[in-house]
Amino acid sequence: MASIKLRFRAHRDDTKKGALYFQIVHERAVRQVGTGCRICACEWDGTWGDIVGASSAADIRNRIAWERRKLQQAVKACEDAGKPYTAGDVVERYREAPDDRTTVFGYMARQSERLERLGRLRTSETYRQTLNSFMKFRRGIDLYFDMLDADVVEQYESHMRSRGLSRNTTSFYMRILRCVYNRAVGDGLAAQSAPFKRVYTGVDKTAKRTISLKEIKLIKEMDLSAKPALDYARDLFMFSFYMRGMAFIDLAYLRKKDLSNGYVSYIRRKTGQQLVVRWEESMQRIIDKYGENPTQYLLPIITEPGATERKQYLNKILFVNRKLKQIARLAKIPIPLSMYVSRHSWASIARSKNVPLSVISEAMGHDSEETTRIYLAAMQANRIDEANSRILRDL
């Protein structure tokens, strides 16, 4: 089998960097392949054939490992062909090999595109976010899946933690990367080596994300008439609360036709469960305040017909959450306010009023029930609506 060795060619001028290259030897024939990497003579250990002491050594080593892997695959392809080959044949196969054939970056990008085609937009976006994060860590240097070992994964976790990301955030990225890795293993791109066994992939208990009914009342009664952006954010926060902690994405895509005969009927985008909510006067006041939406949607979140709806939704949730944090400061509420707080607060307040846990779960459309119900049974729906009415009467 052909051998592959890393070599260093010093520059004639000692003050300038020399070149790193690979030497391919097969049946006494020798060919060379440049790496595009240059180092000083003092950064080369000729005894071990390795780079030492360079400030950029990690980046160079990543590039060298990448090119070595391509050469190894070229040698394997020549061996698998079962015919005599030369060192020149190895170099030719190396140069013809596409860079993203079985690489982590290319594979993750394709998985993100696949999920988008399947309509799983949120999951597709998280794959793309993870890819962008991992590419920054790697400084744009791709790798094959069998190079994604425990050391690389631990370094990635340390990289994220050094930038102030919480354990839950690093775990979120790790779980997505692990999912991609396991799928790649299933596709035969690498042998399973369990590279994630030494990094954190759990979920820590988060800081308090609920506020009291007294604080909800305070937000509701704030005079924000002189600050329309804050007023708008407060109205969406309250509407979510009125609707039993309705998720922002469901608010955004709530259609006018979903409101009929005094009830709102909609499908939770996260779980696919159908929920029915009795329409209350407090909800109608917010709709009347903003007038007719020119789109098919009920609330003024997606407001431009024909424009990219997903982009409008994402822009609005960022905008609203930013404004809610300003409201929290004005109201002297000690936790960062967000639309998520509205949802969790409804559940917490309902529980404090002795609403059964199973009723709260159904009311919020959680997917933890054994059977996902398409329609709520009449008695259960009445109990949920009565619970919501009791909460709203206290405002």
Per-residue pLDDT of the chain (395 residues; tens, 9 = 90+): 899 999 999 999 988 999 999 999 999 999 999 998 999 988 898 888 888 865 556 678 878 888 888 899 899 999 999 999 999 999 999 988 765 457 899 999 999 999 999 988 889 999 999 999 999 999 998 888 888 999 999 999 999 999 999 999 999 999 999 999 999 999 888 889 999 999 999 987 665 678 899 999 999 999 999 999 999 999 999 999 999 989 999 999 999 999 999 999 999 887 788 899 999 999 999 999 999 999 999 999 999 987 789 899 999 999 999 999 999 999 999 888 999 899 888 888 887 777 767 777 766 666 544 322 322 233 345 556 767 777 787 77
Give the H/E segment covering residue 17.
Answer: none
Compute the distance between CA of residue 202 and CA of residue 194 in angstroms, rounded to an integer: 16
Compute the distance between CA of residue 282 and CA of residue 286 in angstroms, rounded to an integer: 7
Inter-residue contact 175 to 168 (CB < 8 Å): no
pTM: predicted TM-score of the whole model, two decimal places: 0.60
Compute the distance between CA of residue 280 and CA of residue 239 in angstroms, rounded to an integer: 10
Inter-residue contact 341 to 210 (CB < 8 Å): yes
85 phi, psi to nearest 5 deg: -145, 165
Compute the distance between CA of residue 135 and CA of residue 394 in angstroms, rounded to an integer: 51
Q: How much is the pLDDT for 370?
A: 36
List the alpha helices (DSSP H) in the chain.
Answer: 57-80, 87-96, 104-117, 121-137, 150-162, 167-186, 213-221, 228-242, 248-252, 281-290, 309-331, 339-352, 357-364, 378-393
Among residues 214, 208, 249, 191, the alpha carbon closest in space to that of 332 is found at 214
301: left (phi over 0), alpha (psi -120 to 50) or beta: alpha
The edge-to-edge listing of strands for the beta sheet with 3-9 is 3-9, 18-26, 29-39
Q: Which two tokens stand for residue 288?
A: 């009347």
Inter-residue contact 104 to 134 (CB < 8 Å): yes
Give the H/E segment covering residue 195.
Answer: none
Q: Is residue 31 classed as helix, strand or coil in its secondary structure?
A: strand
Q: What angle do CA 362, 363, 369 make, to 5 degrees?
A: 15
Q: Which amino acid is at 138?
A: R
Q: Which two tokens stand for residue 91?
A: 């170099």
Q: How much is the pLDDT for 271?
A: 79
Q: Write 222-227 long-range contacts (CB < 8 A, 24+).
A: 222/327, 222/330, 222/331, 224/327
Q: How much is the pLDDT for 239?
A: 97
Q: Which amino acid is at 112?
A: S
